[in-house]
Chains A and B, each alone.
Chain A
Amino acid sequence: MKAGPVDASSPLLDVRDLTIAFGDTVRVRDLSFSVREAETVAIVGESGSGKSLTGLALMRLLPRSARIAGGAMAFMGRDLAVIDEPELRRLRGREIAMIFQEPMTSLNPVLTIGAQIAEVVTLHEGLSRSAARRRAIELLDRVRVPDPARRVDDYPHRLSGGMRQRVMIAMAVACGPRLLIADEPTTALDVTIQAQVLDLLDGLRRDLSMGLILVTHDLGVVGQWADRVVVMYAGTKVEEAPPGPVFADPRHPYTAGLLAASPRVGGGRSYRSGPLPEIPGNIASAVDEAGCSFAPRCPHAIASCRLARPPLVRVGEDRVAACPVVNVAEPAP
């Protein structure tokens, strides 16, 4: 495909109708969203919503049994869904990078962290051994690992979870990528460390003006760090909007349910003041649902919800939602 002209208005990443399937089972269906330069987009959903699969698909790191069954992922004039392996390898680690949920297992236990960071810059920038090592120390310093000149020769098992995630981040940003995908970067970490790591990611996003995709199930994270929220349920996008409006006025029953079930947002409610509300049922009930995948668990569901998949409609300034029951579609301006 031909590289289009890069202008300020065209997004850095434009995902159109992405569909991911395991065999015949569709796990992500017709997902569209875009990420602009220096923008943080949060993809929110519970386990099994397809949010992590989406991140892996962007890197083309899907498990062997999964495949991209349709759609396009336009990134810097290329379609990530179809580019060949050598092209993909040139992009990975240099233009588009990813950090994973499990810092404890995501680093190779038999190589020093310095060697693992140096590997990326040696590969993509052809630095010499000593230059790569110096770069690794700089990067460790940049992600605020204390005493980087000494820690560079450490093995991962000597580091705490938070430190390892910083190493992962250092590796990911080593070549100044245009897009960083963070798949639940703080889920495995202590609460006290979470904010530090997210602050670090946010600072790097600003400094490198890179797009950041934050895959998470934590609405508190979304509220504080995201510019835009994509809410996913059972493989489909059910709502997309800036975080402020989402928290103030959710336009999809699933988003409303998520917010109600979260102790941190929603008006000072805490787990101390009584049991938190929950969304009845589970996500498995969405399998093979012909209509709205949330209908079996939805308090507002009507008969027509179960017949056809509700389309995404514009429900306000810069926001869409896929629920015709609680929204009356506004006419296009």
Chain B
Amino acid sequence: MAGLRAIGLRNRPAAGTVCRFPEDPGPCLMTTAERIFKSLRRNGLAAIPTVLVIVVLNFFLLKLAPGDAADVMAGESGAATEELMRQLRARFGLDLPVLGQLQAYLGGLAQGSLGFSPRYNMPVTDLILQRLPRTLTLMGFSLSIAIALGLLAGTVMALNAGRWPDRVLSVLTLLLYSVPGFWIGLMLIVLFSIKLGWLPSGGSETIASGRTGFDLFVDRLRHMILPALTLALFYVAVYARLTRAAVMEVAEQDYVRTARAKGLSAFAVGSRHVLRNALLPVTTLAGMHIGGILGGAVVVETVYSWPGLGRLAFEAVLRRDYNVLLGVLLLSSVLVILANMIVDMLQAWLDPRIEVR
């Protein structure tokens, strides 16, 4: 609540206000809203050339790989003539020279089109939009799990530094840190789906069950727990280690002693003064991890047959459906850039010392 209030344009100095405190460097007080807006504008402008470079690089990288969609389709049908291959290539623009294809792709992009998928026989934009919500939900859920469990474990470790809860959790996080995601995924399936039978082993909801409303929500949640957990566990370890270090460092700061000198309880000191400052490095890292989580989603979605972008990308690679792959990669880069913008905004809100120039 305090945060929402702080975002309001309180005490905004009128244009041309002269600073009354000569010892202040720079302009007069910048409100939280202004700081956030500035960070947004700077990031937004920087994003355009970044995305363009990513698209062009990806395009050439994919063209380096042997084979195209026509080859795969012909191979699958088992009886394709030269004539049919030529027709297929002409239809999807695959017969143009590479630079011509790039030009056509960028031209389509400028009009908001991501091209056409020969394989799915539908526009790539529609295909991606169909899959995007599933992947976003999965990512959001697993990132929430990772941050919540990570902060909790890290704080417990820091408060008990050197004693047994710290040691046990240290070993546990090290384990999570070093075990590959697909293996954890398979083991979770073995344990919770096969042995215990508590949770479904794949898919995103029970097919044709006719559930609606709350039932449907619970059903989807049950399907999401295992994949989200698989994706999250590595990051739980990362955030736990980071939180432990950050909390221990912040706890040594002079202002924490000041807070204790006020007579605040250990909980109030911890939540109001320590954790808020310790959150800063965690949010930075969490933002950088969005890209990694997207990459991890490819594996996890394949293991759990989760109908999301990751599996779409995986299938697109196998079928040389480069328009789809390019679209997924483009969207991923946009997601990462968006995530960075959100983190910058979050930081501008959390840390008043960040004043974007």
Contacts and interface: CB of A to CB of B under 8 A. Distances in A.
Interface of A: 59, 61, 88-94, 97-98, 100, 102, 105-112, 115, 119-120, 123-124, 146-147, 150, 153-155, 157-158, 160, 168, 171
Contact of B263 (A94, A107, A146): A94
Interface centre among B10, B254, B350 (most CB of A within 10 A): B254
Given A146-B21, A160-B23, A92 B260 contact: yes
B263 A110 contact: no
B34 to A, nearest CB: 13
A140 to B, nearest CB: 13
B277 A109 contact: yes
B10 A92 contact: no
5 contacts: A61-B260, A93-B264, A107-B255, A111-B272, A153-B10
Given A100-B258, A102-B254, A108-B258, A89 B23 contact: no
Nearest to B355: A157
B351 A109 contact: yes
A124 B29 CA distance: 31
A61 B262 contact: no
A181 to B, nearest CB: 9
A190 to B, nearest CB: 11
Place the interface of chain B in its size category. Answer: 20 to 34
A106 B263 contact: no
Interface in B1-37: 2, 10-11, 20-21, 23-24, 29
B353 interface: yes
Contacts of B351: 109-110
A94 B265 CA distance: 14
Interface string B246-272: 000000011101111111110010001
Given A61-B261, A92-B261, A157-B352, A105 B253 contact: yes
Nearest to A91: B263
A119 B262 contact: yes
Nearest to B260: A61
Contacts of A91: 263
A168 B263 contact: no
A108 B255 contact: yes
A147 B20 contact: yes
